C-alpha cells in the first residue's frame, strides 16, 4: 500500500519482550556465559524446566487450548499497511481473547473462541480485512467443533456494528474469500504465520 | 643456411605449439654448437628473409641469395619473426657477443618504425630476451626505449596482448638500474622521454595492461627524478583514471577493481614530490559531497592515507597540508552517517598523527605533533559539550590522541579533564552515556598502547614512565563513580528493564569503564609494569560490581510480586560478571570479597522454604552460584605488582581454591524432609544440587581456560605421574581446601599453590582428586537427608570430570579402577546408592587403567554376571546397574600381556546373558516387568561389546533367532529392546575414552539386524514371529543413520509398510511397533523420497492408522498417563504426512486430500499442544495442494 494511503502513520509498536508469552519460554531465554556448561552439568536432568512448568501451573492432565495459544496463532498475522504484526500493533490483545473449551466429558462437544480486535484508529477502513484475516486464520487452525466469533471491541471502531455484522455473516465471509485481490491481501498477511 | 631456412619454413608452416618449440630448440642448439659463429648467426638471422620486404633496413646485411618473395603475408612474417624470438628464448643467454646483441637490437628495434602490423609482438619478445643477455649494454636499453617510442599513434592500434608485451619490456627496462642511470644520464633531470612515453600510452583501457602501466608510472616517480613539469604530466596521466572502476565481465580476467585501485593508489603515494598535486586533487574530489558514492569516498580516503604513510620527509610532504586535510576530513566524521567512511577518515587522521610522531628508529620534532593535536582539540572541545556532536567529536579527538604513545602523553590529561567537566554537568542522560563511552575508549586505547610499548621507539617507554599515576586513576574513578552514584536505585533496572533501558545502557558503560580502569597498568621506573589504581579504588570498583551481581537474589527470594518480571534480560548482570572476571584477574582480593558477599547472602535465607515461596529464588540461587564459578574459574589471574597489601602470596590457583572451599562450606543448604515418601522428588534438595552443579561448572571452566592458555599438549607435557595421590591426599585434613584458602597451611603439603605456567593444571587435578575423594566419603557416610540420589549422581559426574583428565599412567598409579569399587573407603561398598559413585569414576577411566578388573573371575566378570533380583528392582536401579555393565564390556582389552590372555572373560559374560535371554523367552514364567529389566540389562551388556565390534557379540544374532520364535510376551519384549544396541550413551563418548569402532552402527546392522530382515516379512513362519523379527530389525534400523541401511532400502521400505499396516494395534507399552517404522520412514523420506514413490497409498494409510491409534490412546488414558512414545508416534506420523506435499508431485496426493484434511482438522483439537502445532502445519501444507 502506498505510504500516502496510510491511515495511521505512527502507530504505537510493542517490543517483542512486551508481548505476552508462556512463562517457560521467558525463563529459558536467560542464558549467559555463566550457563555455558549447563547442558553438560545438568545433562537430561532438567530441574529448572520441571520447576517452571509446575510454577506456571500447567495442567498436567492436559494442555487444553487456551487464550495464549489463540493469541500465538493470530498475533503473528501481519498488518495490511504496516510492516508489523497485529500483536506488535496491539490490535490483538490477550485479555480480549476468550476461550470456552468443550465440556470435559465430551471433548468433541462445542467450544467457543471469541476474539475482540482493537484497531489502531477508530475509523480504520482496514478493520474488516484484519477481522477477516483473524477469522480465516482461526478457521484454518482450530478444530471444527469450535465456534469462532471475531468482532471489534466495543467503542474501538466508529462503525463497529457494521464491521461485526460483516464478520459474523458466514456467507459474506465465504463470498469475500472468492475475491482474488482480497485473497492476495490475506495471503500476504498470513505469510509470517508460516515462517 | 639451408638448415635455418628449413627450420624457419617449418616453423612458419606449423600451427602446433610443441612442434614450434622443438624447432626453435633445434635452431638454438645449432647456434650453440657453432659457438655463436658470426656466419651461423648471420645465416640464422637471414633465414627469415623470404618473409621480409626488400626495402627493410638492414636487409642488405640479411639478404644473401637474393631470393625475393615480395612482402609476403602478414601472418607468415609475424611467425617468421616469432621463430627468431623463440630461438633467442631457447638460446644460452651468455652465448651471443656484444656486437651480435647490438645488431639484433637494431634489427628488432627497427620493426617498431617499419612493421606495425606484424612485427611488434615478436620483436618485443625478442627484445625481452636480448635484454637479459649477458652481453647486453645499458646503452642498448636506451635505444630500445627510443625505438619503442617511435610507435607513436600506432601503439594504440596494437592488440591488448601486444601492448602488454611492450609494457612488460618497458617495465623491465625502466626498473633495470643500469638502464635507468643511462637514461637519466642521457636525458638529465627533465626525463624528457617520459613525456613521449605518457603520450604513447595515454589511451590505455585494458585492465591487465593498466596494472603494468601504473607500475611503470610509480617506478618513474620513485626511481627517477623528473622535473616538476614532468611530474605534473605523470600525475595528470594516472590521476585521470581516478576513481577507477571495472565493468563486470562474463570472462574473468583475474584482475579485480580492488587491484586497479591499489595500483593507482601506489602511483599517488609513489613519491612526496606529488604531495601538492595529490592532496589538492583528492580533497577536491572528496569535497564534492553527495556527488561521491561511499565506495569512491573510501577509495579517496584510503589513497590519502597511503600518501601520508608513504611520503618521505613529512615536514615538507605532509605538514603543509594538515590544516587543509583536517578541515575537509572532520566533517566526514562530524556529519557522517556511513560507518565505512567514518572508519576510513579516522584511519587518515591516525596516519597523520603517526607520521608526525616518527618511526620506530627516528622521532620527528614534537612541535609538529603538538600543533596537529591542538588543531584537532581546538575544533572538538566545544562539540564535546554539545550532545548532538559529542560522539563524533569524541571519536575524532580520541582517535588522534590515542594514535601513539607520544600523542597520548601530550594531550590525554587535557581530554580527560574536558570529559570530566562535561560529566559534571551533562546536558542529558544520552550525553552522559556518550561521555562515558569516550572515556572507555580512551582507557581501552591506553591499555593497547602500553601493551605495544616495546614495539615502538625507546623514547616512548621513557615517556610512559613520566605518567602521573595517582592523578589519572583518581580522576577517572571519580568521573565513573560520580555517574554510578547518580543512579541511586539500581534494583529498578533489574525489576523493570523496559522502563529503564537508557539507565541500563549507561550503567553497562560505567561497568565497562570500571573494569577497564581496574585493569590499567603503569610503567614503572624499572621498566616493568604495575597496577595503576590504588587498593582503595580497586576495592570500591569490585564493590560496585559485586553489588550488581548479588542484587537480584533477595529480590527474587523475598518479593512475592517478582513473578512475571523475569522476562527482563540479564544484560546488566552479564556485563558486571564479565567486568568482575577481568578485575579479579588482576586484583585477587576482589574474588574473595565476591565469594564472601555471595555466600553471606545465600546463607541468609532458608532454602528449605524457598520452593514454597517462589521458584525464582531458587533460579537466582543457581545463577549466583554459576556466576561465582564463572568469575573465579574461567580466567587464570595474572600477577601484576601493585600497592595492594595482599595478605596471601599470588597464585594462579587462588580463585579456584577459594571457590571450591566456599562451595563445600555451603553444603548442605537444606535438609530434605524425612517424613515424605520419595525424597528424590523433593524440590528443596535442588538448592544443594545447585551448589554441586556450580562446582562441576567451575572445574569445567578452569579446564577450558588451561587448555586455551597453554594448549592440551603443553598440559600433558608438564606433568609427572608421581606416586599415588589417593594415598597422599589421605594424609591431609578434610578442611584442606579451606586451610589453603585462608593461607594457613604451612606444615602439611606445602607449596601447593606456588606453581605457574602449565603446571597449574597438575595442581588443579590434585585439588579435583581431593574434592572427589572428600565428596565421595561424604556421600557414602554422610546423612541421607543431604546425600539424596540426585546429589550422589552429581558427585559421580564431578568425579568423571576430574578422572577423565588424568593420563592412563596417572589413573593406573592412583589405582582408580580399584577405587571405583572401594570409593576411597578401603573396602568394596555394597550399598545400592553407591553404584552411581562407582559409575562416576569408571566413566572417566582409560581402558588400560581398567585392565586389572578383567582377571578371570575378577571384579568385572563378577559384576557383569551378577543378576539383580528383577522382581524387586525398579527400572531406574537397573539403568544404573546397566550403565556400569556397559562401561565394563566396552573398555575391555583382552589378549597376551593383559589380565585376560585368552579373551575369555567377555566371551563368558556374553554367553551367560545370551543364555539368560533364551531361557527367559522359552517360557512365559518370567513376569513382563522383570523381562523388561532383564532385556534392558542384557542389551546394555551386548552394546558395550558391539561398540568395540567384538566378534563375540555377533552371537546375539543367533540368540535373537532362537528366542524370538517363541510365541510369548517375553519374546515381544526382547524384540522391542534391540534398539538399545544403537542408542546414544554419553559413557560411549570419545571424551570418556570409550572404545567405539568407527563403523559401530554399520557393524550392528550387518551382523544383528540384517539377518532378521527376511524373517520379518510375511510369508515365512508364523505371523507373530515375523512381527517380532520385524520389530527387532526396525528397532535397530531406526537408531541408525540412513547410510547404514541404504543398501537394503527396498527391503526396509517393505518392512516399514508391513509394520505400519499391521492389523493388530499395539498396547501403549509396545508403541515401538509404530514409532520405529515411523522413524525409519522419516529418514527415508528426507534422504531418498523416490524410493517411496510406488507406495504412497499404503504409506498414507499406515501414517493415518498410527496417528489415529495414538490419538485414541491419549483420549482414553489422558495426556498425563500416556507414555511419551505414544505421543512420539503421533508426532512423527504427522511430520511425515507434512513432508509428503513437499516431496511428491501433488497429482499423487489429490485422492487423499479430503481424508487427510478431515483428520488434521480434528487433530487441531488434540490434547497435546505440540501435536496440535504440528497438525496445523500439516493442514496448511495440504491446503496448498491444488
pLDDT digit string, tens, across residues B10-46 = 888 888 888 888 888 888 888 888 887 888 888 888 8
Q: Which residues of A touch B623 (CB under 8 A)?
A: 30, 34-35
Reply yes or no on whether the pLDDT at B277 is more than 60.
yes
Q: What is the pLDDT of residue B896?
A: 83
Strand-pair partners of A99: A113
Which residues, in sequence order, are CB contacts of B556 under 8 Å at separation 6+? B562, B614, B616, B617, B619, B620
Chain-chain contact of A34 with B686 (C-beta, under 8 angstroms) = no
Residue B712 pLDDT grade (very low, low, confident, very high; cuts 50, 70, 90): confident
Strand-pair partners of B670: none
Question: In angstroms, rounded to a whole number, what is the distance separating the alpha carbons of residues B684 and B682?
Answer: 6
Strand-pair partners of A98: A114
A57 touches chain B (CB under 8 A): no
B310 touches chain A (CB under 8 A): no
Comparing C-alpha atoms, which of B938, B812, B798, B802 is closest to residue B867? B938
Question: In angstroms, rounded to a whole number, what is the distance separating the alpha carbons of residues B1162 and B1178?
Answer: 12
Comparing C-alpha atoms, which of B1028, B1114, B1090, B1101 is closest to residue B1061? B1101
B70-79, B589-598, B1080-1089, B1105-1114, range with the lowest pLDDT: B70-79
Closest CB to B567 among A17, A34, A40? A17
Question: In angstroms, rounded to a whole number, what is the distance separating the alpha carbons of residues B400 and B489?
Answer: 37
Chain-chain contact of A141 with B1179 (C-beta, under 8 angstroms) = yes
Burial class (CB in 10 A: 0-12, 13-18, 19+), B658: buried
Reply yes or no on whether the pLDDT at B59 is more than 50.
no
Instruction: Give kind and range of the element (H or E) at residue B713.
Output: helix B712-717
Give mean pLDDT, residues B928-934: 93
Residue with cell 551388556: B941
For residues B60 and B67, the answer to whether their CB atoms sit within 8 Å is no
A13 touches chain B (CB under 8 A): no
Question: In angstroms, rounded to a whole number, what is the distance separating the alpha carbons of residues B727 and A52?
Answer: 45
pLDDT digit string, tens, across residues A93-124 = 999 999 998 887 777 789 999 999 999 888 88
Mean pLDDT of chain B: 87
Q: What is the pLDDT of residue B663?
A: 95
Question: In angstroms, rounded to a whole number, what is the distance separating the alpha carbons of residues B917 and B938?
Answer: 8
Question: In angstroms, rounded to a whole number, what is the distance separating the alpha carbons of residues B612 and B607?
Answer: 9
pLDDT digit string, tens, across residues B405-417 = 999 988 888 899 9
Question: In angstroms, rounded to a whole number, what is the distance separating the alpha carbons of residues B72 and B59?
Answer: 15
- Gyration radius from chain A CA atoms: 19
ipTM of the complex: 0.88
B569 touches chain A (CB under 8 A): yes
Q: What is the pLDDT of residue B1020?
A: 67
Q: What is the pLDDT of residue B469?
A: 67
Which range of B308-312, B718-722, B789-793, B873-877 scores highest in mean pLDDT? It is B308-312
First to last CA, chain A: 22
For residues B358 and B364, the answer to whether their CB atoms sit within 8 Å is yes
Residues 149-188 of A with CB under 8 A from B: none
Cell readout for B922 is 522359552
Cell readout for B424 is 559534571
For residues A150 and A115, the answer to whether their CB atoms sit within 8 Å is yes
Other CB atoms within 10 A of residue B535 CB? 15
Q: Where are the domains of chain A?
A: 65-194
Chain-chain contact of A32 with B570 (C-beta, under 8 angstroms) = yes
Chain-chain contact of A30 with B570 (C-beta, under 8 angstroms) = yes
B574 touches chain A (CB under 8 A): yes
Q: What is the pLDDT of residue B61?
A: 43
| B1000 to chain A, closest Cα gap in Å | 24
Closest CB to B700 among A15, A40, A55? A40
Give mean pLDDT, residues B688-704: 94
Comparing C-alpha atoms, which of B1156, B1161, B1147 is closest to residue B1101? B1156
Closest CB to A63 among B567, B689, B1169? B1169
Q: Which of helix, strand or coil describes residue B96?
A: coil
Cell readout for A68 is 495464549
For residues A19 and A29, the answer to whether their CB atoms sit within 8 Å is no
| B609 to chain A, closest Cα gap in Å | 15
Closest CB to B1167 among A33, A63, A108? A63
Other CB atoms within 10 A of residue A63 CB? 17
Record: fold of A65-194: GMP Synthetase; Chain A, domain 3 (3.30.300)
Residue B610 pLDDT grade (very low, low, confident, very high; cuts 50, 70, 90): low
Chain-chain contact of B569 with A55 (C-beta, under 8 angstroms) = no
B23-37, B537-551, B1101-1115, range with the lowest pLDDT: B23-37
| A58 to chain B, closest Cα gap in Å | 11
Distance of CA B388 to the CA centre of its chain: 38
Instruction: Give kind and range of the element (H or E) at residue B917.
Output: helix B905-922
Chain-chain contact of B1119 with A40 (C-beta, under 8 angstroms) = no
For residues A90 and A118, the answer to whether their CB atoms sit within 8 Å is yes
Residue B828 pLDDT grade (very low, low, confident, very high; cuts 50, 70, 90): low
Question: In angstroms, rounded to a whole number, what is the distance separating the alpha carbons of residues B441 and B476?
Answer: 12
| DSSP per-residue letters across B335-379 | S---HHHHHHHHHHHHHHHHHHHB-SS-BPPHHHHHHHHHHHHHH
Q: Which of B567, B572, B1176 to mutate to test the interface with A (most CBs of A within 10 A)?
A: B567
Reply yes or no on whether the pLDDT at B63 is more than 70.
no
Comparing C-alpha atoms, which of B724, B818, B814, B827 is closest to residue B777? B827
- Output phi, psi for B829, to 5 deg: -90, 140
Chain-chain contact of B1119 with A51 (C-beta, under 8 angstroms) = no
Q: What percent of chain B has pLDDT over 70?
A: 93
Residue A52 pLDDT grade (very low, low, confident, very high; cuts 50, 70, 90): low
Question: In angstroms, rounded to a whole number, what is the distance separating the alpha carbons of residues B44 and B31?
Answer: 8
Distances from the Cα of B645 to the Cαs of B531, B536, B648, in angstroms? Answer: 13, 11, 9
Q: What is the pLDDT of residue B811?
A: 92
Question: In angstroms, rounded to a whole number, what is the distance separating the alpha carbons of residues B242 and B232?
Answer: 15
Comparing C-alpha atoms, which of B46, B45, B50 is closest to residue B69? B50
Residues 689-718 of B with CB under 8 A from A: 689, 693, 696-697, 700-701
For residues B160 and B208, the answer to whether their CB atoms sit within 8 Å is yes
Alpha helices, DSSP H, located in B498-551: 501-518, 535-550
Q: What is the pLDDT of residue A9?
A: 67
Cell readout for B536 is 582503595
Q: Which residues of B touch A37 (CB under 8 A)?
A: 696-697, 700-701
Alpha helices, DSSP H, located in B804-874: 808-813, 816-822, 835-843, 859-864
Q: Which residues of A touch B570 (CB under 8 A)?
A: 30, 32
For residues B1109 and B1125, the answer to whether their CB atoms sit within 8 Å is no
Cell readout for A154 is 466495543
| DSSP per-residue letters across chain A | --GGG-S-SS-----GGGS---HHHHHHT---GGGTTHHHHSTT--HHHHHHHHHTT--TT-----HHHHHHHHTTSBPSSSSSBTTTTTSEEEEEEEEEPPPTT-TTS-EEEEEEE--SSTT-TTHHHHHHHHHHHHHHHS-TTEEEEEEEPTTSSTTHHHHHHHHH-HHHHHHHTT-HHHHHHHHHHHGGGG-
Q: What is the pLDDT of residue B884?
A: 94
A81-90, B112-121, B734-743, B963-972, range with the lowest pLDDT: B112-121
Q: What is the pLDDT of residue A51?
A: 57
Amino acid at each position: 500500500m502506498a505510504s500516502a494511503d496510510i491511515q495511521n502513520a505512527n502507530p504505537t509498536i510493542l517490543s517483542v519482550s512486551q508481548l505476552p508469552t508462556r512463562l517457560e519460554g521467558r525463563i529459558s531465554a536467560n542464558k549467559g556465559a555463566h550457563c555455558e556448561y549447563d547442558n553438560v552439568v545438568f545433562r537430561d536432568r532438567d530441574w529448572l524446566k520441571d520447576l517452571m512448568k509446575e510454577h506456571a501451573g500447567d495442567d498436567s492432565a492436559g494442555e487444553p487450548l487456551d487464550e495464549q495459544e489463540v493469541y500465538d496463532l493470530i498475533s503473528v498475522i501481519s498488518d495490511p499497511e504496516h510492516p508489523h504484526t497485529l500483536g506488535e500493533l496491539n490490535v490483538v490483545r490477550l485479555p480480549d481473547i476468550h476461550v470456552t473449551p468443550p465440556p470435559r466429558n465430551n471433548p468433541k462437544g462445542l467450544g467457543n473462541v471469541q476474539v475482540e480486535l482493537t484497531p489502531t484508529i477508530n475509523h480504520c477502513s482496514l478493520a474488516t480485512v484484519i477481522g477477516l484475516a483473524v477469522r480465516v486464520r482461526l478457521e484454518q487452525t482450530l478444530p471444527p467443533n469450535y465456534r469462532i466469533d471475531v468482532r471489534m471491541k466495543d467503542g474501538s471502531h466508529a462503525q463497529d456494528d457494521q464491521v461485526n455484522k460483516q464478520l459474523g455473516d458466514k456467507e459474506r465471509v465465504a463470498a469475500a474469500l472468492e475475491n482474488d485481490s482480497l485473497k492476495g491481501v490475506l495471503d500476504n498477511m498470513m505469510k509470517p504465520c508460516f515462517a | 643456411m639451408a638448415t635455418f631456412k628449413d627450420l624457419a619454413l617449418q616453423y612458419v608452416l606449423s600451427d602446433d605449439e610443441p612442434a614450434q618449440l622443438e624447432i626453435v630448440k633445434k635452431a638454438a642448439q645449432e647456434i650453440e654448437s657453432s659457438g655463436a659463429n658470426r656466419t651461423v648467426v648471420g645465416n640464422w638471422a637471414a633465414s627469415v628473409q623470404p618473409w621480409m620486404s626488400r626495402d627493410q633496413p638492414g636487409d642488405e646485411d640479411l639478404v644473401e641469395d637474393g631470393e625475393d618473395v615480395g612482402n609476403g603475408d602478414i601472418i607468415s612474417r609475424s611467425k617468421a619473426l616469432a621463430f627468431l624470438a623463440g630461438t633467442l628464448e631457447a638460446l644460452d643467454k651468455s652465448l651471443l657477443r656484444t656486437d651480435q646483441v647490438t645488431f639484433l637490437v637494431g634489427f628488432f628495434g627497427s620493426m617498431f618504425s617499419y612493421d606495425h602490423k606484424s612485427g611488434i609482438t615478436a620483436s618485443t619478445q625478442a627484445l625481452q630476451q636480448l635484454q637479459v643477455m649477458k652481453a647486453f649494454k645499458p646503452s642498448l636499453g636506451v635505444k630500445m626505449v627510443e625505438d619503442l617510442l617511435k610507435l607513436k599513434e600506432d601503439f594504440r592500434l596494437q592488440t591488448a596482448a601486444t601492448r602488454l608485451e611492450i609494457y612488460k619490456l618497458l617495465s623491465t627496462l625502466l626498473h633495470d638500474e643500469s638502464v635507468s642511470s643511462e637514461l637519466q644520464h642521457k636525458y638529465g633531470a627533465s626525463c624528457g622521454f617520459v613525456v613521449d612515453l605518457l603520450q604513447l600510452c595515454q589511451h590505455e583501457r585494458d585492465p591487465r595492461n593498466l596494472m603494468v602501466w601504473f607500475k611503470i608510472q610509480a617506478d618513474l616517480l620513485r626511481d627517477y627524478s623528473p622535473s616538476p613539469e614532468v611530474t605534473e604530466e605523470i600525475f595528470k596521466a594516472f590521476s585521470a583514471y581516478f576513481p577507477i572502476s571495472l565493468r563486470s565481465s562474463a570472462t574473468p580476467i583475474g584482475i579485480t577493481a580492488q587491484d586497479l585501485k591499489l595500483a593507482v593508489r601506489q602511483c599517488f603515494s609513489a613519491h612526496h614530490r606529488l604531495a601538492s598535486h595529490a592532496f589538492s586533487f583528492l580533497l577536491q574530489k572528496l569535497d564534492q559531497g553527495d556527488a561521491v558514492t561511499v565506495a569512491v569516498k573510501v577509495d579517496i580516503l584510503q589513497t590519502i592515507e597511503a600518501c601520508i604513510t608513504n611520503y618521505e620527509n613529512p615536514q615538507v610532504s605532509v605538514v603543509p597540508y594538515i590544516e587543509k586535510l583536517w578541515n575537509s576530513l572532520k566533517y566526514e566524521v562530524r556529519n557522517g552517517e556511513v560507518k565505512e567512511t567514518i572508519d576510513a577518515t579516522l584511519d587518515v587522521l591516525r596516519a597523520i598523527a603517526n607520521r608526525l610522531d616518527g618511526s620506530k628508529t627516528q622521532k620527528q620534532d614534537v612541535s609538529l605533533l603538538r600543533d596537529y593535536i591542538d588543531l584537532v582539540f581546538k575544533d572538538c572541545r566545544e562539540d564535546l559539550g554539545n550532545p548532538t556532536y559529542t560522539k563524533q567529536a569524541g571519536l575524532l579527538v580520541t582517535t588522534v590522541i590515542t594514535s601513539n604513545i607520544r600523542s597520548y602523553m601530550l594531550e590525554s590529561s587535557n581530554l580527560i579533564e574536558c570529559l570530566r567537566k562535561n560529566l559534571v554537568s551533562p546536558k542529558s542522560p544520552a550525553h552522559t552515556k556518550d561521555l562515558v563511552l569516550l572515556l572507555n575508549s580512551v582507557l581501552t586505547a591506553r591499555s593497547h598502547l602500553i601493551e605495544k610499548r616495546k614495539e615502538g621507539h625507546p623514547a616512548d617507554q621513557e615517556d610512559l614512565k613520566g605518567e602521573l599515576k595517582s592523578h589519572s586513576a583518581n580522576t577517572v574513578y571519580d568521573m565513573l563513580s560520580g555517574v554510578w552514584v547518580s543512579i541511586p536505585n539500581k534494583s529498578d533496572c533489574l525489576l523493570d528493564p523496559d522502563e529503564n533501558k537508557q539507565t541500563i545502557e549507561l550503567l553497562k558503560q560505567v561497568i565497562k569503564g570500571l573494569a577497564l580502569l581496574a585493569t590499567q597498568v603503569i610503567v614503572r621506573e624499572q621498566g616493568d609494569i604495575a597496577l595503576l589504581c590504588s587498593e582503595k579504588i580497586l576495592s570500591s570498583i569490585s564493590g560496585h560490581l559485586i553489588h550488581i551481581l548479588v542484587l537480584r537474589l533477595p529480590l527474587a527470594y523475598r518479593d512475592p510480586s517478582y513473578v512475571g518480571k523475569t522476562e527482563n534480560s540479564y544484560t546488566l548482570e552479564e556485563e558486571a560478571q564479565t567486568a568482575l572476571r577481568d578485575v579479579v584477574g588482576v586484583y585477587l582480593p576482589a574474588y574473595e570479597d565476591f565469594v564472601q558477599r555471595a555466600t553471606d547472602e545465600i546463607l541468609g535465607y532458608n532454602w528449605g522454604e524457598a520452593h514454597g515461596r517462589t521458584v525464582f529464588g531458587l533460579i537466582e540461587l543457581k545463577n549466583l552460584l554459576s556466576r561465582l564459578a564463572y568469575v573465579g574459574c574461567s580466567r587464570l589471574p595474572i600477577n601484576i605488582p601493585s600497592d595492594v597489601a595482599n595478605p596471601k602470596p599470588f597464585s594462579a590457583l587462588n580463585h579456584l581454591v577459594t571457590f571450591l572451599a566456599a562451595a563445600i562450606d555451603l553444603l548442605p543448604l537444606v535438609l530434605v524432609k524425612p517424613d515424605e515418601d520419595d525424597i528424590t522428588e523433593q524440590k528443596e534438595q535442588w538448592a544443594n544440587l545447585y551448589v554441586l552443579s556450580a562446582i562441576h561448572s567451575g572445574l569445567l571452566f578452569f579446564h577450558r581456560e588451561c587448555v586455551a592458555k597453554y594448549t592440551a599438549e603443553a598440559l600433558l607435557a608438564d606433568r609427572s605421574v608421581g606416586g599415588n595421590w589417593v594415598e597422599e591426599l589421605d594424609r591431609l585434613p578434610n578442611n584442606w581446601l579451606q586451610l589453603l584458602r585462608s593461607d594457613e597451611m604451612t606444615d602439611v603439603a606445602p607449596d601447593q599453590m606456588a606453581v605457574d605456567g602449565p603446571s597449574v593444571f597438575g595442581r588443579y587435578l590434585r585439588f579435583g582428586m581431593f574434592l572427589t575423594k572428600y565428596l565421595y566419603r561424604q556421600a557414602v557416610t554422610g546423612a541421607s537427608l543431604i546425600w539424596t540420589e540426585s546429589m550422589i549422581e552429581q558427585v559421580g559426574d564431578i568425579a568423571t570430570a576430574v578422572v577423565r583428565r588424568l593420563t592412563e599412567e596417572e589413573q593406573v598409579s592412583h589405582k582408580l579402577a580399584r577405587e571405583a569399587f572401594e570409593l576411597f573407603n578401603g573396602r568394596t561398598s555394597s550399598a545400592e546408592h553407591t553404584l552411581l559413585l562407582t559409575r562416576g569414576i569408571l566413566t572417566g577411566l582409560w581402558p588400560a587403567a581398567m585392565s586389572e578388573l578383567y582377571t578371570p573371575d575378577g571384579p568385572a566378570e563378577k559384576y557383569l554376571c551378577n543378576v539383580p533380583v528383577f522382581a524387586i528392582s525398579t527400572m531406574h536401579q537397573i539403568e544404573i546397574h546397566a550403565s556400569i555393565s556397559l562401561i565394563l564390556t566396552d573398555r575391555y582389552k583382552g589378549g597376551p600381556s593383559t589380565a585376560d590372555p585368552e579373551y575369555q572373560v567377555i566371551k563368558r559374560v556374553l554367553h551367560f546373558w545370551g543364555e539368560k535371554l533364551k531361557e527367559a523367552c522359552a517360557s512365559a514364567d518370567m513376569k513382563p516387568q522383570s523381562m523388561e529389566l532383564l532385556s534392558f540389562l542384557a542389551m546394555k551388556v551386548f552394546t558395550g561389546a558391539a561398540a568395540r565390534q567384538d566378534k563375540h557379540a555377533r552371537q546375539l544374532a543367533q540368540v535373537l533367532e532362537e528366542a524370538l520364535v517363541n510365541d510369548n510376551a517375553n519374546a515381544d519384549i526382547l524384540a522391542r529392546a534391540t534398539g538399545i544396541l544403537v542408542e546414544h550413551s554419553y559413557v560411549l563418548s570419545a571424551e570418556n575414552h570409550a572404545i567405539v569402532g568407527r563403523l559401530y552402527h554399520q557393524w550392528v546392522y550387518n551382523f544383528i539386524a540384517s539377518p532378521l530382515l527376511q524373517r520379518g516379512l510375511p510369508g515365512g513362519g508364523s505371523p507373530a514371529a515375523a512381527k517380532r523379527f520385524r520389530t527387532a530389525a526396525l528397532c535397530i534400523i531406526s537408531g541408525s543413520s540412513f547410510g547404514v541401511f541404504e543398501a537394503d532400502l527396498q527391503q526396509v521400505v517393505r518392512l516399514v509398510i508391513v509394520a505400519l499396516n499391521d492389523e493388530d494395534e499395539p498396547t501403549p507399552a509396545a508403541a515401538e511397533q509404530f514409532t520405529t517404522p515411523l522413524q525409519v520412514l522419516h529418514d527415508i523420506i528426507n534422504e531418498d523420497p523416490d524410493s517411496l514413490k510406488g507406495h504412497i497409498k499404503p504409506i498414507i494409510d499406515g501414517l493415518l492408522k498410527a496417528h489415529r491409534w495414538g490419538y485414541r490412546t491419549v483420549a482414553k488414558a489422558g495426556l498425563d498417563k500416556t507414555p511419551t512414545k505414544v505421543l512420539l508416534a503421533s508426532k512423527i506420523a504427522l511430520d511425515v504426512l507434512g513432508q509428503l506435499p513437499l516431496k511428491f508431485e501433488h497429482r499423487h496426493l489429490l485422492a487423499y486430500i479430503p481424508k487427510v484434511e478431515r483428520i488434521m482438522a480434528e487433530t487441531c483439537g488434540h490434547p497435546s499442544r505440540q501435536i496440535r502445532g504440528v497438525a496445523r502445519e500439516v493442514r496448511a501444507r495440504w491446503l496448498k495442494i491444488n
